[in-house]
Amino acid sequence: MHRQVLLSRLGPPNSADAHYINPALRPLSTSSVSSRTALACFSPLSPHSLSLLRSWWIRELVDCRLLSVRASGVRRPASAVAAAAAGLWRRRIGVAGACDVRRDPGFFHGSKLHESRRHRLALTRALFTEAPDAPDAPVGRMASAAVMPAWLSIVEKSVFRFDESESARKEAAPSLSFVTPGLREEEIHVDSNEPEFIPVFEADGVNQVVTLKLPTGTAFYGTGEVGGPVERTGKRVYSWNTDAWGYNQSTASLYQSHPWVFSILPNGQAFGVLADTTRRCEIDLRKESSIRIVATASFPVITFGPFATPEALMTSLGHAIGTMQMPPKWALGYQQCRWSYMTAARVAEVAATFREKKIPCDVIWMDIDYMQDFKCFTFDKETFPDPKGLSDELHSLGFKGIWMLDPGIHADKGYGPYDTGCEEDVWVQTADGKPYIGECWPGPVAFPDFLNKKTRSWWAKLVKEFVAIGVDGIWNDMNEPAVFKTVSKTMPESNIHRGDEEVGGRQTHSHYHNVYGMYQARSTYEGMLLANADKRPFVLTRAAFIGAHRYAATWTGDNLANWEHLGMSIPMALNLGLSGQAFSGPDIGGFAGDSTPKLFARWMGLGAMLPFARGHSEQGTIDQEPWSFGPEVEELSRYALNRRYRMLPHFYTLFHKSHVTGVPVMTPVFFADPTDPKLRKVDDSFLLGPILVKAWPLPKKRTTVVDMDLPKGIWQRFHFNDDHPELPMLFLKGGAIVSTGPVIQNVGEASPTDTVTLLIALDDKGRASGELYEDAGDGFGFEAGDYLITHYEAEKVASASSKDGEVVIRIASTEGQRERPKRKLRARVLIGDIVEVEGEGVDGEELRVKLPADEDISKKVVLNRENDHSNLERMQSLLDEVFEDHQAIMGVGAVLMPEDLVKGDVAVKVVPWIGGHIMSMIHKPSGYEWMEGRLENGGYEEFSGSEFKSSGYNEPYTVVRRELSQMYGNEVLGMEGDIGGGLVLAREINLPHDSLKKVRISSSIVARSVGAGSGGFSRLVRLRIHPMFRITHPMESYIEYTSVDGKRHTLKPAMEFGETSYEGAEKPNGEWTLIDSVTGLAVVNTFDVKEVELCHVKWGPGSVTLELWSEERPVSKDTPLSITHEYDLIDTLAS
């Protein structure tokens, strides 16, 4: 029974009427009342329903401050809390015949009821004991947990650990998210420290289910690396690290797992929930203001807050899970990467071009191309014969070099790392104790067991030797871990890790899967420290778990070169930051597919403002260096990166603040005013401290400042003489001071004596303040005090020399032992929209800047806006011509947008101009994306022969029919593609009005004209329907059908790839169903068995294809080949 049904039986909240909710529940006689009789008034109640009712009652008591879970500062046992709850039930609930339950204003209506006390006692016993004669008898896991979870106050005030029970706490696995596992175990005693929100623990088979209801209007964030909007209400995420190339907004599992929810309550307070489990975990936020977490085995839940501000919540989270290490300053510069810098000469050429064109850049990256046969810790003897020489050349140009290391070690005797790994017994094992051998880039590979100290020490030594050739940073890729040629895309969950006792000891891979990448990053970090203890390591990891920020930065994985992924760049980086990972960003320009000048330009403008700024693209795509799209985009890229390098002093200060406090480098706009609901879903803007960055991650033109909806207060727009229609707008909050510097080509060019330029925006009281953090830029001297923090302040004062006053800028205080360099100080006082006054002096001395009259400022604002609008229009016109010319050269595929069909529970995205294929099919209620393809291929495709990718799959299709649904109509898209020889492949995609869950597809190969002598018949053709379904839980998914001969079949994937054909009596009799047993979601494919000769199943990495093949024959104008079939997207649990 659902909780809502239980509550309906208790009576509607705030109902002033006393009445029987269910007339069938008649009052009982008072002659023989027992707890079982009382309980029968709620019949039928399963143990699960009883558990919910108990939990609801306790939560109501705590929320209404009528029940405390502590007494005299000491936590009360669960049994005592249950007894107190029972007592309040007796006092507060009036029961007429043991079933007339009412509520009154303030708590429950019916306080004046004086019905039989025996009934009230009986109902209480029914709720809080298993049997009337044994009130203290032990209860099962579910009922016990639902009565009251065991809890501790940990870490600091307002942080609480909840467990299903006292025994569950003792049996819980060690925390791998906490910076020190003992922090989660140690109870602290703080006065007036009780949880405001208490999670409910329940059992559901082998799973533990935790729910937490928050006030209506709560907004959700966090959940780590996720696609889609920044606000997460309505979304469900699965924490299970997955190689998710080409993901989109609905992909439920990406490369990282952060079982953490950041919440903003309606009053602006911040509250966080951490499910401290490394296992596969479902975070369900689909129900408004409710958090539901499901994972196998028992796990603790840690709650943080509520706190007055979101910054306070992030600081508290940082106290628990740690904060990011202070990165080397060069890592904040722009970085250039590509999968296919095939030679050392090409790397050197790219580096030299940056310097020749004066485009700032600090890092060049080496992908797997540098390796000998893709073997880690090796260098290709022909293409990278002298890695030390390449490193020296890069260093001479002011570049750092970052090199990739995957976890898989080629299982090849005679290969040093493999041989030493075997000698030291470092490999992950199969269930029978043998080294597990999977497949990755070099072929068969063994996987180091990074959960073991011995393995980490072995890896660290390899890294130390590797760094000796001049490596400045290391990139850990493929470490989910990704395994080729497997349906699950990873190693078997039955594999064995021999983890250290302090991390959990010997466990299966299902326990350690999500932390594998984090522990590789830790091992790499330790190896770099071993190589040079005086340098800050820089590690980038693709896979991670919450807490991995202690060892590595990250990026948002293999994104696509399209506007959708540009739009996801901001919310993805924001939610990573709100999950503890402050150092992140996307592949600028998009990794997969060809970018366009407009897309790249817009992405560069945005990416230059993100914490991690790296351009990256895959092999087989066009070049995507800043100069690859012509002089106009090159110049715009220079503007964008010059802006970033001017702001490096501010970025570095923000990174230090994040290192100290845990507050992200970039934050959502609602940080400016958490009480303003309008700011909670802003996806196109973000804050860099007090700077608001307003971007346009869509192809539309940017708006003017007067049309913008900014947070409350004073926000002064500024730029660096680089205002451009493709660059974001920048605003400084009133009351803030930020520090900037000169344009440099790399961080190594910066000097402590460079002029510091302060941007100053006064608040409504005429004051401002801010700070600048400085240190050596590398090394760990700052930990011993070798740093300087300058707290600047500014104030508007009256002046004898200026009737309109002046602004006085001075140093309020300093921190650290580092000596202040002798340098100039420049002030830009922002006093209107792109209106400012300047002054210059000596840093450390008072500086005064005179202000103009208010009337002059107003005139200047108007004039600036007019000139600004005219200049931007002119620039935009020139750029539009450039973009159009490029589109004409590249073809329509570069600019067309997919067709969207949406009706009921189904959303479909179709690409007519490349194969007419369906690249996305989403079940809207769950957000589950059954089909997920690229712009140019994948998803649903059709071929005209038995051969894979025969004619039809990539020809341009013409839209011949497009009907938008009205209230009771259909969504229809009709297309035709010329497949040669007088043949046309026609397809009609229909979301029918008679079902809100179906997609109907009618396809045919039609002869329009055939050559002379053919007798009116075409060549031999076959209509081959090829839908590739994405499955989030590959090993828990299966296919069911009844064959033509009446037999029932269940097809399950093996770890390895496989494909099978079914025809004749063995083929499905017109229907087969693909089911994800974890989510309960399914897709039912129905078809006319007479039109289908053969059904073909192929299991792939995280996918399965369910093909329908027609017979093979010639066609004429009168005898086309046709298949009409439907996909019905259903939720088996809901139905």
SS3 385: coil
Q: Is 104 designated active site? A: no
In 3D space, the residue among 621, 572, 573 whose CA is nearest the CA of residue 600 turns out to be 621
Instruction: Give the residue among 645, 748, 623, 727 at the shortest CA–CA distance from 337.
Output: 623
Instruction: Dig out the tokens for 262 from the structure.
Output: 């950041």
Indicate left, alpha or beta for 205 from its phi (over 0: left) and psi (-120 to 50: alpha).
left
Alpha-carbon distances of 293 from 210, 576, 960, 1082, rounded to whole Å: 5, 19, 47, 22
Find out whether 906 and 924 touch, Cβ atoms under 8 Å.
Answer: yes
Single out the residue of 988, 41, 180 nearest to residue 547, CA to CA: 180
Place of tokens 């011995």: 454
Among residues 999, 835, 981, which one has the least CA distance to residue 905? 999
DSSP letter for 133, please: T
Beta pairing partners, 702:
none
Other C-beta atoms closer than 10 Å to the C-beta of 551 total 23
Residue 477 is among the residues annotated as catalytic for this protein:
yes
State yes or no: is 558 an active-site residue: yes
Which residues does 449 contact at the CB level (< 8 Å), separation at least 6? 426, 427, 428, 429, 455, 497, 498, 499
Of 914, 918, 958, 951, the residue nearest 936 (C-alpha): 914
How far apart are the C-alpha atoms of 1114 and 1021, rounded to whole Å? 6
Neighbouring-strand partners of residue 836:
830
- Which one from 393, 480, 778, 1128 is the annotated catalytic residue? 480
CB 581 within 8 A of CB 545: no
Per-residue 3-state assignment (H helix, E strand, C coil) for 49-112: HHHHHHHHHHHHHHHCCCCCCEECCEECCHHHHHHHHHHHHHHHCCCCCCCCCCCCCCCCCCCC
Which helix or strand (DSSP H or E) is residue 599 part of? Answer: helix 597-607
End-to-end CA separation in angstroms for the chain: 14
Count the helices and strands in the chain (H runs, E runs): 20, 58
Q: Rg for the chain (alpha carbons), in Å? A: 32
Amino acid at 878: L
Phi-psi region of 895 (alpha: psi -120 to 50; beta: other; left: phi over 0): alpha
- In angstroms, the Cα distances linking 660 to 159, 539, 546, 583, 668 are 19, 19, 18, 14, 19
Residue 650's Cβ-side half-sphere holds a number of Cα atoms within 13 Å equal to 26
Q: Are the beta carbons of 295 and 505 closer than 8 angstroms?
A: no
571 phi and psi angles, rounded to 5 deg: -60, -35
Residues 346, 638: Cα–Cα separation, whole Å: 21
- The residue annotated as part of the active site, out of 477, 587, 774, 929, is 477
604 neighbors 566 (Cβ within 8 angstroms): no
- Tell me the residue type at 925: P
- Residue of 558, 587, 899, 942 marked active site: 558
What number of residues does the chain have? 1135
Catalytic residues: 477, 480, 558
